[in-house]
Amino acid sequence: MKTPVLTVAEWENIERAEHDHEYANSMPYTMDPEQIVTYEDYCYKPGCRRDRGHRTRKALKAINLDTLSGKVLLDIGCGNGKYSVLCALKGATVYAYDISPVGVERSEALAKLNGVEQRCHFSIQNASRMNYPDAYFDIILMHEVFHHAIKYPGVKEEVMRVLKPGGKVVITESLYGNFLVALGRWFTMRGKEAKGDVILRLSDIEEFAKGFSAKRIEMISLLFMAKRIFTQWPDSTLLRFFLFMLKKADDTLLAIFPFLEKYCGECVVSLEK
């Protein structure tokens, strides 16, 4: 799918409408960090997310939740504020923004309910013009948002500008290099593809990573991307066992044939300035 060429204002209007609708039913709740970390784990484990919790878990590991006290973190595309509030509960000072006024409203309500509103600063922005000082953030999180942010001109330059020397950017994404991703989209999207989504390839990630002093791109989910086909299926022990076996098959295949990594459907990226 080719991404149309639109102005920043046109993209903002499209994504604001899409995400206002998405977050409209997101209600604040009391958060337990340990419960969230457990929930955001490999899809096949009972009691955990079945779709993409495993890559979220890797992102949380990359930002190192237990060392966030005293750190200043930016959550780009914060959505309903779940991960912003989680990081604030772990001691970080968090700045976060989204294109959606509804998402920001829900984020503020979530922070207030969990008693961290003084450490959370939410705003409505896009990635091409961030109103933060130079070299301000220790960590920048782009969790499942790079496929939106990449459309906006100057996003890399802005990320580099506001990141401290030695600071870290953590990105998680799905990639369009795995045939199971395409098959999964056909099963689950069925004409509901968000207009603002960019179908990413590994080359997009590698291009963004240029200019950083260090990078680590972890490719995950080869056969395991079949999970996308079953996202609408009722949960069952049998389905989780099937996903478990796919994950074990991935571990074996990628260990024996590392060149297969380029066909994986997901990545977790850590970049250092």
pLDDT of residue 181: 64
Asked, for residue 3, whether it belongs to a domain, the answer is no
pLDDT of residue 193: 55
pLDDT of residue 187: 58
Q: How confident is the model at residue 230 (pLDDT cuts 50, 70, 90)?
A: confident
pLDDT of residue 6: 77
Asked, for residue 244, whether it belongs to a domain, the answer is yes
Token pair of 49 as six digits = 């997310």
Asked, for residue 87, whether it belongs to a domain, the answer is yes
Mean per-residue pLDDT, 11-27: 90
Token pair of 123 as six digits = 């705003």
pTM of this prediction? 0.92
pLDDT of residue 240: 92
Strands 266-272 and 163-174: what pairing? Answer: antiparallel
CATH of the domain at 84: 3.40.50.150
pLDDT of residue 12: 85
Task: Report helix, strand or coil for 137.
Answer: strand
Contact call for residues 76 and 97 (beta carbons, < 8 A): yes
pLDDT of residue 191: 52
Q: How confident is the model at residue 10 (pLDDT cuts 50, 70, 90)?
A: confident
Distance CA(263)–CA(270), nearest Å, equals 19
**Could you read off the pLDDT of 117-168 as tens digits, one per residue?**
999 999 999 888 899 999 999 999 999 999 999 988 899 999 999 999 999 9
Contact call for residues 241 and 194 (beta carbons, < 8 A): no
Asked, for residue 2, whether it belongs to a domain, the answer is no
pLDDT of residue 184: 59
Asked, for residue 32, whether it belongs to a domain, the answer is yes
Asked, for residue 1, whether it belongs to a domain, the answer is no
**Could you read off the pLDDT of 185-225 as tens digits, one per residue?**
665 555 555 566 788 889 999 999 999 999 999 999 988 98
pLDDT of residue 263: 87
pLDDT of residue 178: 62
Mean per-residue pLDDT, 217-240: 87
Domain housing 212: 8-272
Contact call for residues 88 and 113 (beta carbons, < 8 A): no
Number of domains in the chain: 1
DSSP string spanning 165-202? EEEEEEEEEE-TT-HHHHHHHHHHTTT---TT-----H
Question: Picking from 27-41, 47-61, 187-201, which range would have the lowest pLDDT averaged per residue?
Answer: 187-201
Instruction: Give the DSSP H or E segment for 218.
Output: strand 214-220
